[in-house]
Amino acid sequence: MTALDFSTLAGEGATIRLATKEDIPAICDLRVAQSLEYWGVNPGQSELAHFRSETEAHLRRTLGERVMFLFVEEDGEIASMSGVEVFDRLPTFGGVSGVQRTATVVACYTRPEFRGHGHMAAMLSAWPLVAMRAGVDAIYVETRNATMRHVAEKTGYEHASDRFRMTIEVEAD
């Protein structure tokens, strides 16, 4: 994918860029911080190490293809990140003809000292530019966070649906 110009979206003194494979350790660090803060988990060191290694392995397989991340940087320091997971969906009646390629915004996190600078809104505004280049037809933002819902609506995302989930318990042999 050729370079995209996000300069009009970033705030004063900030830049937005696509993450590369070299950024995987930074993504892992921010995912750990996000999980600890947002999900209120209190894992042991072995659980943290496992989460981090699983995240790193997944990103090594998928980053730049099915998964992409954006960073907002202030003075060369990563302030905020968000990712998208890209999926091909079955065709539907009344929808886009053929397979629809969709993306879901995931792993949105702004370090506490950089909050309130508009970074998440800038990234949500940048994703459509990335999506067009990746052949994505629609972008979804799924969140239980009221602030994130407000930011999504403010940046042009429309409420589409609520999802239901069932966790499948797999019996060990």
Domain positions in the chain are: 14-154
Q: What is the model's pTM? A: 0.86
Angle (deg, nearest 10), helices 24-38 and 45-62: 130
As a whole number of angstroms, the distance between CA 67 and CA 13 comes to 27
Q: 14-154: which CATH topology?
A: Aminopeptidase (3.40.630)
Q: Hey, what's the torsion of the CAs at 153, 157, 161, 166, to 10 degrees?
A: -100
Phi, psi of 133 (to 5 degrees): -70, -25
pLDDT in tens, the chain (173 residues): 445 778 778 777 899 999 999 999 999 999 999 988 887 777 788 888 999 999 999 999 999 999 999 999 998 899 999 999 999 888 777 665 677 889 999 999 999 999 999 999 999 999 999 988 888 988 999 888 888 999 999 999 998 877 777 777 877 76
One-letter identity of residue 127: W
Report CA torsion sign: 67, 111, 118, 145: positive
